Structure 1
Amino acid sequence: MKFKTNKLHKTTQMMTAAVLTVGLLLPTAAVLETNGVQAAAAAATTQSAKTVKVTWNGKVLGVNAFQAKGDTYVPVKALAKAAGLPLTYDKTTGRYTLGTSPNSLVMSIYRGGVWIGANSVGLQSEGKVKGGTMYVPLSVLRDYASIESSWSAKTGTVALKPTAAAGVTVTQKSIKSTQKDAVVNIRYPQLSGSEAGIAKINAALKKHAEAFSANFEALMKEFGPLPSENMYYEADANFMVSYNKDGLFSVVMQDYSFYGGAHGSTIQTGYTFSLDSGKQVTLDQLLKGNPNYRSDIDKKIAAAFKKTDLAFDSNSFKTIGSTPNFYVRNSGITIFFQQYEYTAYAAGIPSFDFTFTSLLPKGTNPFAGL
């Protein structure tokens, strides 16, 4: 299990002071001690990093990757060129974008580290800068950029290729707004394919976005004009597809809003659906092979909170309960909590990674019978 906090990184063309504050949130030392792929450790690990070759569809990239702290770091520019992926830079926001939605990675360099967002939803895993070249972790490419990999110890080569299309097609939709004195950018996913549950899933995701939009407009009217002409209301919603195969679709909806004050607020919601039925899949269904999974998870999260100074009260966490926020990844699940639920705002969104192998008996298929 890894304990991480998803740092929120917000920059828009019409920046408010609050948005800028969110954008500058950095990982804390307590988190770095528990996550082996943090960019802040770059200076200490780069000297001892092992250089490895990397190929795309059998063709060697012009720049090597390197292994450090349990992950392999792949050169972004060389990967983009070899794979034919668009790599753009926005001077206004200082962000690089690799690929296209919903499998795009957004990157921003700070202090030698690289903040990464999956389709702009912030991840805790970060990249590194070495010799003026920007690198991203292979684990991020596998989980969020539809890239497969294999490792040859004999040749010291990481082979990359595009993931075979195994899930449904996802497109990005937006809700238009006529609000004045507000920055509104509300995006949500819509699926297409032959699976029976797609219509029901699309309706649920659209409803989520419409509810956020309606609530934002209602609160704007309630609060009235902001005190400064240089301050704007803001609603920014995006999503991150974390799993799209095996008859399962898992997505994180991220809703950011700013109504004045010191900073805005971000709420993340995890949805995991059966593509066949369109119904939401619960942790009980995924982890039915372990009747004691909740107790196992509770103990590990409680221990993780006690090892850090991020929680308001290191003993406040008791249980994830019956309906925790979670999403599915390639190798397991991530459970997360909201801002202020257990930690201060600066800690971001506390998230805990678990592999299926750590929670289920050997050989158990978590997707069987869904």
Structure 2
Amino acid sequence: MKRATLTLPKMTKMMTAAVLTAGLLLPATAMLGTTGVQVAAAASSAQATKTVKATWNGKALGANAFQAAGDTYVPVKALAKAAGLSLTYDKTSGQYTLGTSPNTLTLSAYQNQVWISANGVGLQTEGRAKAGTMYVPLSVLSDFAGIDGSLNAASGTVTLKPAAAAGIKVTEKTLKSNLKNAVVDIRYPVLSGSAKGIDKINATLKKHAQSFLNGFGKDIKKYEEWNEGRDMHYEADANFMISYNRDGLFSVVTQDYAFYGGAHGGTLQTGYNFDLKTGKEVTLSQLLKANPNYRGAIDKKIAAEFKKQGSLLETDGFKTIGSDPNFYVKNGGFTIFFQQYEYTPYAAGIPSFDFTFASLLPKGTNPFAGL
């Protein structure tokens, strides 16, 4: 499976506190610096929003949410207080951390946007900064933060509550390193539970982390030879994001970042989708077997999106996802992503495309029935 790709979280990680804030509420100066186009877009977005009430476990959240662009945006500070979630601010990185691993969201506010990473893995879905407050999309909370939510359009209320306990518990471990002249922070997930495939899955994920560390060490030796006598800085940083943990399937995204000097580092992102009974990886074809023509439908949508974005390095460069694409499962569907520079320039980040099972499978089909 193709697994390497570029992402934007390191841009967020390296942002200074100068463009962020020292508290949860954003001062007016943090909202300055937008271009005329951005201001117009923000004004248009504001007109398209609709205020909705929000509750946590049946009690008022203490602040309203709002609807926009097909999602519901939940106020971060009010959610943390009502749900008893940890909410901290790091002055060095200028980032906020909501919740605890493996359901941590890291938030970086800039102008009217909130860039989000889930347990250290960057997302393309963004939050919003509105009237001095940060908001996170309900879809992100449901997919990555262990929170269930539903919107009652008739009453104009979004109901939030803790997600049902997953059958497989996930903790994290960190690999130790004695590499000199390098900052190493490599974290990987460890599963526990009664599923028969857990040991095999744990072995695969640990091997992945160890292989990244080993490769990083070998690469440092090469760079040290090329840069003999120069004071160099090296960094290895590995994170993981749990995107699905039910219905007999465990989906996790690992993200390995390495920096050897230069303008920026490189990121390797991997999507693992495991059958919990066997510990074997599940393919997209297995999940979509009820639709033998799924690839054509996906190819058509992705090609249209690439054309709309105008981000391809080569015109009509994308043809097909192929038989073994990079993907991960999340609530109600899956996300396909591509490699760094595979189709787009570095600045485009990870080209990611979301699909629902309902849009590709016959009505009533359970994609996990064969697991």
> What's the TM-score, normalizing by structure 2?
0.88
**Any idea what the Cα deviations from partners look like across 1:78-133, whole Å, max 9, x if unmatched?**
00000000000000000000000110100001122100001111111111111111
Query: What's the RMSD between the two structures over aligned residues?
Result: 2.3
Deviation at 1:347, TM superposition (A): 0.6
Which residue is equivalent to 1:365? 366
- Label 1:243 to 1:249 Cα distance change in 2 as closer, same or farther (>3 A): same
> Are the equivalent residues in 2 in contact too, given 1:187–1:238 (CA < 8 A)?
yes
Deviation at 1:286, TM superposition (A): 0.3
Which residue is equivalent to 2:34? none
| CA distance in structure 1 between the partners assigned to 2:192 and 2:45 by the alignment | 44
> Are the equivalent residues in 2 in contact too, given 1:238–1:255 (CA < 8 A)?
yes
> Are the equivalent residues in 2 in contact too, given 1:6–1:123 (CA < 8 A)?
no
SS class of match (1:357): coil
SS class of match (1:82): helix
Deviation at 1:313, TM superposition (A): 1.0
| CA distance in structure 2 between the partners assigned to 1:285 and 1:20 by the alignment | 41
| CA distance in structure 2 between the partners assigned to 1:96 and 1:227 by the alignment | 39
| CA distance in structure 2 between the partners assigned to 1:339 and 1:185 by the alignment | 22
> Are the equivalent residues in 2 in contact too, given 1:254–1:268 (CA < 8 A)?
yes
Deviation at 1:314, TM superposition (A): 2.6
Which residue is equivalent to 2:254? 253
- Label 1:244 to 1:40 Cα distance change in 2 as closer, same or farther (>3 A): farther
| CA distance in structure 2 between the partners assigned to 1:169 and 1:297 by the alignment | 33
Report whether the alignment pairs 1:77 with 2:49.
Answer: no
Which residue is equivalent to 1:57? 57
Question: Within 5 Å, which residues of 2 pair with 1:237-316?
Answer: 237-316=238-317
Which residue is equivalent to 1:123? 123
SS class of match (2:155): coil
The residue type equivalent to 1:139 in the other structure is: S
Between 220-229 and 290-299, the greater mean CA deviation after superposition: 220-229
The residue type equivalent to 1:245 in the other structure is: R
Report whether the alignment pairs 1:328 with 2:329.
Answer: yes
Which residue is equivalent to 1:153? 153
| CA distance in structure 2 between the partners assigned to 1:183 and 1:162 by the alignment | 36
| CA distance in structure 2 between the partners assigned to 1:340 and 1:221 by the alignment | 26
| CA distance in structure 2 between the partners assigned to 1:329 and 1:6 by the alignment | 20
| CA distance in structure 2 between the partners assigned to 1:6 and 1:41 by the alignment | 27
- Label 1:57 to 1:228 Cα distance change in 2 as closer, same or farther (>3 A): farther
User: How many equivalent residue pairs?
Assistant: 346
Which residue is equivalent to 2:235? 234
Question: Within 5 Å, which residues of 2 pair with 1:159-178?
Answer: 159-178=159-178
Which residue is equivalent to 2:31? none
Deviation at 1:20, TM superposition (A): 5.8
Which residue is equivalent to 1:89? 89
SS class of match (2:143): helix
| CA distance in structure 2 between the partners assigned to 1:59 and 1:288 by the alignment | 43
Between 112-121 and 305-314, the greater mean CA deviation after superposition: 305-314
| CA distance in structure 1 between the partners assigned to 2:215 and 2:203 by the alignment | 18
- Label 1:342 to 1:228 Cα distance change in 2 as closer, same or farther (>3 A): farther
Which residue is equivalent to 2:354? 353
SS class of match (1:46): helix
Deviation at 1:167, TM superposition (A): 2.9
> Are the equivalent residues in 1 in contact too, given 2:256–2:269 (CA < 8 A)?
yes
Report whether the alignment pairs 1:196 with 2:177.
Answer: no
> Are the equivalent residues in 2 in contact too, given 1:339–1:345 (CA < 8 A)?
yes
The ranges of structure 1 where at least 4 consecutive aligned residues each deviate by more than 3 angstroms after the TM superposition are 38-43, 225-231
Deviation at 1:254, TM superposition (A): 0.5
Unaligned 5+ segments in structure 2 are 20-37
Which residue is equivalent to 1:319? 320
> Are the equivalent residues in 1 in contact too, given 2:56–2:159 (CA < 8 A)?
yes
The residue type equivalent to 2:341 in the other structure is: Y
| CA distance in structure 2 between the partners assigned to 1:248 and 1:290 by the alignment | 20
| CA distance in structure 2 between the partners assigned to 1:161 and 1:229 by the alignment | 54
> Are the equivalent residues in 2 in contact too, given 1:169–1:193 (CA < 8 A)?
yes
Deviation at 1:39, TM superposition (A): 12
- Label 1:300 to 1:8 Cα distance change in 2 as closer, same or farther (>3 A): same
SS class of match (2:10): coil
**Any idea what the Cα deviations from partners look like across 1:240-286, whole Å, max 9, x if unmatched?**
11000011000111011111122111111100001111110011110
| CA distance in structure 2 between the partners assigned to 1:219 and 1:353 by the alignment | 34
Which residue is equivalent to 2:107? 107
| CA distance in structure 1 between the partners assigned to 2:198 and 2:43 by the alignment | 46
| CA distance in structure 1 between the partners assigned to 2:82 and 2:234 by the alignment | 41
- Label 1:358 to 1:6 Cα distance change in 2 as closer, same or farther (>3 A): farther
The residue type equivalent to 1:326 in the other structure is: F
Which residue is equivalent to 1:340? 341
